[in-house]
Chain A
């Protein structure tokens, strides 16, 4: 599968107290990926705003950061999505509130709406900071899914760019794959044999994927594979949280209907309680 490197990175900017931290994170990432940074602001264009952005980014002048500011008006979601398309973003950075409240969840905030509709990869930042916090441990999903191969490839690409030390591939084993109910000692033994078999199968599948990847991405990192038993999509977030991972890399959601929001599964669970920074690969 061809790897899509991040050439253009986009970020929506609002003049909030978080602005500086968000911009610093975005700028640093652009430098790591050797990409161009595009800032989108919804609102009137003015010299004052432009100068403010320039002032903040002046810290990166010595690194020859390439950036551009786009001013748009109208509905923020549509504006950002259309810019993403025009400028052909490879990655869109969104600063997310760590936890949205109960009512908003059903309505959908701007961030979530963009998440659902964007055609490019997304990075949800829960805790932007001016100082760089090193990204040590990356967790990536290893679901049995056609998109997984590219997600894992991208995760390795990101890991090598960010100099991460460890990358854990998590295989979520669904309860219904173990088609045996544990009632007594006999069925328990049986279930455990099946679990071990599934774990082995999953691990070898993942190993195949890793073998295909470019060696320069996989050489200098500790690779671990971890089968977990839990609900798909949710448990990986839980795992990332326990392991204090710095970045969670996930497949993009396949489809999103009204029912998915009402009975959340997969990525929706992660979005309700972001465990860490999340990168969704499109």
Chain B
């Protein structure tokens, strides 16, 4: 029985952290919930209801670990259409039915459904959803409400709205538009400013806090009416008691009609795709490297959606942005999802009247930003880099989705992908003959798994390969051989890339073989390019910083390498990178025996709208002996907050100054206390502050989360060199 008790113990130990991260997530979930619901033309509170029900049900019954459930942005487009054609009461019925369908999908173990869609088609569909959100809400952000028939018309109307907004005469509208624009700027620049106090509250909540503060300023200090036009304020947020007493009626009257079922199908399709994609992406961020039970999660999401529909809420899906915020703030199990729901309830109970002080344009700015992120030109550029044919798939899906609808859009994407594959291979029989064949063989050879794929491997039959790959523990070695395979498509390559990352993160090894042959055959070029992201050729002209570094290294007799290096395995077992994705390191400076390595690094945190790409300069020191694992940080307000949330600072005897100024963290308290001798402690006390992390064998040292100047590089290198001497 002892493991069980341990589970309970670790659960309670992690509880404070999860409460904390649940709180931070609820700060985003509140404005997003309101905004997504309003963007779908549903009552604002319905989004919050979905988040609350989702948080409670999925945290209890779900099969994933660090995901957050709630209203999703992908569904906005479908919900808009559903509510427009069926009316709100019947839309609730459609939501309930889609929840039931999702439940059925979970029971039929159809979690693999999302694998059947080519990734460029999914990208196209998501971009279309982004444009639908952006197109509709952009006008409200600039306080210019319009009504158009077609979603595309909203997009074409944007320049006119901007023109109108510049020439506003009405102060109410000017203030409203200003609120929108400022909020939009906050969304854009929030991630650029790396300040830990600012970052403690997510950008959407800053918008909420600032706009409520603005409203109170006019009421309490200036004694004036709020200058923002009244019709651009959020309305219709009921008191908590009202929510409970006024559960909306659900109308199943249209259940026999065709539009009802197309809506249900679209809702189910998008809800499952969005959830499955999110679960997959969040699994990569999970610090404890667990594997989510996708089908169980689908069941829980389905049940939550049914409940949410009956209580007047929207569909519940797994949402990636909120989940990654959860991971970044220390969420480690499903309880954070539960607490995010709990805090939402508390907000609504305590502050529902304050929420009406939020201007609509400010809220919609959040959504415009979300929409922009979905359809950002960056994504299109990435797809173009993969291949022109992917761009065709992308745009066909995008345009059909915008013009006709989501289901037609994704189906056209699948169709055009298949046609393109046939054209590229100039061969129909390859697909027709081998589609249903069991083309994947797996066996264990010596110490590794060997997987061989025959004929072709594309989105049509990737599930067979996936089934085999999923049966391999991620800490094993895998060799995947494509030498008998004539064609491998982009969807597969992208998924394999994900597997590769997953295996590397969890201590395994995933190698893809046999594609070199394909290089010689010009028939399938794009697949290959995708697989081996060869570091880009060195730019011939170095930047000024780079030439200075080069001079510096010759002065100090060090080696310098400006190339981008993607092999960053040695950084993977540092705690700091557990929830982060390292893109590459560059500008490496190392001494002769390679024990000190200073480099610029690009890594990303979170996913999707919460994704932040960070560049920083770090120093990696290889040690000659084993030392305890620890993290050493400067003591500040934030660390005190963390201390409440269950992190424990390790005190060092007779060094109160050190203990006060530094924040020392680690598992093995005794070993760490033994390691921090007087000499080492004095060294830290008398030197400038850096963030220092030990993984037992190596040290990682860095200052701020930005690139270092030449002077700082020198200081960092010198610090590391002396630290190494002190330790060894």
Contact = CB atoms under 8 A, between A and B. Distances in A.
Contacts of B227: none
A227 B443 CA distance: 7
A188 B473 contact: yes
Contact of B293 (A184, A228, A229): A184
A240 B230 CA distance: 76
Nearest to B292: A184
Contacts of B452: 238, 242
Interface string A69-103: 00000000000000000000000000000000010
Given A102-B429, A228-B442, A229-B442, A183 B471 contact: no
Contacts of B295: 183
B470 to A, nearest CB: 6
B196 interface: no
A230 B438 contact: yes
Contacts of B445: 226
B566 interface: no
Nearest to B454: A238
A181 B291 contact: no
Interface in A155-185: 181-185
A242 B480 CA distance: 12
Nearest to B434: A273
Interface string B421-452: 00000000100110001111111110000101
A40 B232 CA distance: 94
B443 A228 contact: yes
Given A102-B429, A191-B471, A242 B441 contact: yes
Nearest to A227: B443
B443 A226 contact: yes
B63 A183 contact: yes
Interface in A184-230: 184-185, 187-189, 191-192, 199, 226-230
Contacts of B470: 182, 188
B449 to A, nearest CB: 9
A265 to B, nearest CB: 9
> Which of A181, A183, A187, A192 has the most C-beta atoms of chain B within 10 angstroms of its own C-beta?
A183
Contacts of A185: 290-291
> Which of A182, A231, A235, A238 has the most C-beta atoms of chain B within 10 angstroms of its own C-beta?
A238
A234 B291 contact: no
Nearest to A199: B444
Contacts of B471: 182, 188, 191-192, 229
B550 interface: no
A256 B452 CA distance: 29
A199 B292 CA distance: 27
B468 interface: yes
A232 to B, nearest CB: 9
Interface residues of A, number: 25
B176 interface: no
A199 B443 CA distance: 11
A188 B296 CA distance: 15
B481 interface: yes
Report whether over half of chain B's contact residues are helix, strand or loop; otherwise say mixed: mixed
Contact of A234 (B63, B438, B481): B438
A235 B441 contact: yes
B166 interface: no
A230 B467 CA distance: 11
Nearest to A188: B473
Interface in A237-274: 238-239, 241-242, 269
A239 B443 contact: yes
Nearest to B484: A241
A187 B440 CA distance: 22
Contacts of B429: 102
A188 B291 CA distance: 9
Given A182-B471, A242-B452, A227 B444 contact: yes
B294 interface: yes
A234 B443 contact: no
Contacts of A242: 441, 450, 452, 481, 484
> Which of B291, B296, B442, B443 has the most C-beta atoms of chain A within 10 angstroms of its own C-beta?
B443
B109 A228 contact: no
B473 A183 contact: no
Interface string B460-494: 00000000101101000000010010000000000
Contacts of A184: 63, 290-293, 296
Nearest to B288: A185
A28 to B, nearest CB: 29
B519 to A, nearest CB: 21
B474 to A, nearest CB: 9
Given A182-B470, A184-B292, A102 B484 contact: no
A196 B290 CA distance: 22
Nearest to B483: A242
A238 B484 CA distance: 9
A181 B112 CA distance: 13
Nearest to A235: B441
A115 B444 CA distance: 32
A191 B470 CA distance: 11
Contacts of B437: 234, 269
A227 B294 CA distance: 29
> Which of A199, A226, A230, A241 has the most C-beta atoms of chain B within 10 angstroms of its own C-beta?
A230
B510 to A, nearest CB: 16
Interface string A101-128: 0100000000000000000000000000
A29 B368 CA distance: 77
Contact of A102 (B109, B296, B433): B433
Nearest to A184: B293
Interface string B275-307: 000000000000000111111100000000000
Nearest to B468: A229
A230 B442 contact: yes
Given A192-B471, A229-B443, A238-B484, 4 more contacts: A181-B109, A184-B290, A184-B291, A242-B481
**Top 8 nearest A-B pairs by Cβ distance?**
A231-B438, A228-B443, A184-B293, A183-B293, A238-B441, A230-B441, A235-B441, A184-B291
6 contacts: A183-B293, A229-B442, A238-B439, A238-B454, A239-B441, A242-B452
